[in-house]
Amino acid sequence: MIAVDWGTSSARAYRLAPDGAVLERREGAGGILRVPEGGFPAALAGMVGPWLADGETRVLLSGMVGSRQGWQEAPYLACPAGLDDLAGAVEPVPFAEATVRLVPGLSAEDASGVPEVMRGEEVQVFGALARSDEDALLCLPGSHAKWVRVAGGRIAGFSTSLTGEAFAALKDHTILGRMMTGTAEIGPAFEAGIARAGEEGGLLHHLFGTRTLGLFGRLAAEDAASYLSGLLIGHEVSAAMTTPASVRLVGSGPLMALYGRAIVLRGGEAIAGDPDAAARGLALIGERTAWM
């Protein structure tokens, strides 16, 4: 089977063995925003053509490729939802050279009834679980960071925070960025931001402190981005992990270490997940899918 995790800004294709093991992988040309109108069949063929020529007949897609801006819109499936629910809801996509199915995204509501959506992360979550009946709390860092509650092996609910996008907007488009020279890194400044997030005054007040600490020589320009990152991730973790918990981190890249440190400093435990969680999740859904 071929598995493709096709998001807004990137695409990752995997050729999988019958037992789900990754045989080969390819980074695609780019996310759905780089695919021209009507260009999805050609984009898929460009990514996985050699594997199709070599005899693969099934392709399972997940991510924003199933959104209105993607190849074909797949309606959200409501939580709670498990692997069997996702496999039972895959959508057929017309494609000449193979049988293509699309995994739908999930929707939920938070405690106040405000809607939540994800596309692609649900597959990574199932790929990151150790057991099919697990209870777990997972965190997927990113522009729109997600915290996902799994109960009995099904996604019970989730919550999204605009942390990554807010960081970029505040750094690049407010006075805070004028005093910043570096990138966000683990270290004393990041940890000071995490600690600050636990103090009174609220996030909007804490943001201003990034400037005054710099004005008074108590925060160096090269540390300011780390401090700001610690503030934002600290506020996110405090709101999402209301009691110290064991958190499974899903994803890859420098954010994983930052979130891991923030979770530990807030009293929790962080478990690093498999960076190929999407491939494993698609394999598990593919096994349960009625392909004919």
Parallel, antiparallel, or unpaired: how do β-strands 145-151 and 154-161 relate?
Answer: antiparallel
Give the per-residue contact string, 153-192, with its own copies (x = CB under 8 A; - = no): ------xxxxx-xx-xxx-xxxxx----------------
We find the least distance from the C-beta atom of residue 65 to its own copies, in angstroms, to be 17
Q: Can residue 98 be called a binding residue for its own copies (CB under 8 A)?
A: no
Question: Given the complex with its own copies, which of 94 and 115 has the nearer CB atom?
Answer: 115
Q: What is the DSSP string of 53-99?
A: HTT--EEEEESGGGSTTSSS--PPEESSB-HHHHHHT-EEE--TTSE
Half-sphere exposure of 292 (CA within 13 A, CB side): 0
The residue within the footprint of its own copies, chosen from 22, 52, 98, 117 (CB under 8 A), is 117
Within the chain, strands assigned E span 2-6, 11-16, 22-27, 58-62, 77-78, 91-93, 99-102, 106-109, 115-118, 136-140, 145-151, 154-161, 246-249, 269-272
We find the least distance from the C-beta atom of residue 142 to its own copies, in angstroms, to be 12
The residue within the footprint of its own copies, chosen from 96, 202, 290, 292 (CB under 8 A), is 202
User: Which span sits near its own copies by CB under 8 A: 45-53, 88-96, 203-211, 263-271?
Assistant: 203-211
| Chain positions contacting its own copies, by CB under 8 A | 110-112, 114-117, 144, 159-163, 165-166, 168-170, 172-176, 196, 199-205, 207-209, 211-213, 215-216, 218, 232, 235-236, 238-240
